[in-house]
Amino acid sequence: MFSHILFDLDGTLTAPALGITNSFIHALKSMGKKIPPYSALCSFIGPPLKDTFKYTLGFTDAEVEEGVLHYREDFSVKGLFENSVYEGIRETLTLLKSQGKHLFVATSKPEIYTNRILEKFDLAHFFEFVGGADVEETRSEKAKIIRYVVDEACLEEERQNGLILMIGDRKHDIIGAHKNEIPCCACLWGYGSREEFEQNGADFVISAPQELL
């Protein structure tokens, strides 16, 4: 029985596609780069920002830094609030808390933005600790984020006893959880696919938040 549950943010708690894609478009236009189709822009949701610019878009290190700067020009002002909470999330979090579960956030989004989003959409009170990337993104890989949450929230004993479950919507959540020897439940309402989850060894796959119960 899992007693401590770690949630990803983008694609798991909230639907951030509008804000994230608009901020990528702003960054790419500012740099005179070609704008990918919307489906490709949506695939950028989940991985660390610098990884997307470097490995997916093929930017040089200097271009990565410029891209991140332009992205955050837009995202920090309006993009982070071009967002919505998935249907069923509030009710599910409420019921999990009523069952005595301990809830946490583990996201590759910078912590400063994560806290603002959770406060804006009245979700912050559900979580005992919120862990995200630092602004410099030296802590952005999902495995490092999860380890950070385990350490800061003093959950090592729970981790060793198999009491922690990670919830996320991309392969990075699965891989990051497994690197920390934590099982992962993948959710189909986000931006990943069943094929992606099966290929990366998700321990559970659910199609609606209520299935967590």
- 5, 3, 51, 7: which is closest to 168 by C-alpha? 7
Q: Tell me which of 8, 10, 51, 173 is the catalytic residue.
A: 8
Active-site residue, 8 included: yes
CA distance 48 to 43: 12
Residues labelled as active-site residues: 8
